[in-house]
Amino acid sequence: WTTHMVFLNSPSRTSAEWWKINPTTGSVSQAGRVDDPSGAYFYSFPSIAVNNYNDMMLGFSRFSSSQYPSAAYAFRLATDAPNTLQAPYQYKNGEADYVKTFSGTRNRWGDYSSTFTDPANDRDFWALQEYAMTKSGTTSRWGTWWAKVNVAPTTILSTQSGLWNATTTWSCECIPTGNDIVQINSSHSVTINNYTARAKNVALNPGNIIFVNNGQLMTNE
């Protein structure tokens, strides 16, 4: 997964563009933009994070002619339609105009954008973005502001027969953890082989089966 900003015309504006690329083939499996086709809002300097469940979040700066530089993010669940993001959310409003050229001709901005998953569960997200602070006299200032997105646990479905610890077995393209609800669909066989499988609980539909071979299945239900 990667992100960058792009400049678009008709009308002129900047947008935050993101990509999901298969590292083996180099092919693009998903792509999209945080963009305002009207040109009223500009989105710039994005950073990206993806959790263990293939949910994704972009953090970025947001600007407009009637809005000071502000901190915002956009989010997508792995189950959302491909190539889409949910609506951008501005979580910290800019407070003043910002001009700092450091004796040059360019108004410098965007050095501090960070988006990452919570290391405690590899599910939730944090964004740390810049915003324009209230001036100190006539001196422009920037600040950073945190946002956290809590991602509710979802049921992980089997998509085919296979090994428990293979990402291709599951709808999330991940390996279930002790916090997850797992549902094995009809006609699918999941094998636990030399591996300790964990889940919050496991639902078995008629016709499916779990094979345990030198492994262990642990649930806390």
The predicted pLDDT at position 221 comes to: 58
Higher pLDDT, 53 or 42: 42
Please identify which residue in the block is written with the tokens 């636990």. 192
* Tokens matching residue 147: 């946002």
- pLDDT at residue 69 tops 90: yes
Average pLDDT over residues 46-65: 95
- Asked if 215 contacts 188 with a C-beta cutoff of 8 angstroms, the reply is no
Q: Which range among 47-61, 66-80, 191-205 shows the weakest confidence by mean pLDDT? A: 191-205
Tell me: the pLDDT tens digits for 146-166?
Answer: 999 998 877 889 999 999 999
The conformation of residue 103, written as its DSSP 8-state character, comes to T
Distance CA 186, CA 94 (A): 52
Q: Which residues of 175-208 are buried (b: 16+ CB within 10 A; e: fewer)?
A: bbbeebbbbbbeebebbbeebebbbbebeeeeeb
Q: Mean pLDDT score of the chain, rounded to an integer? A: 92
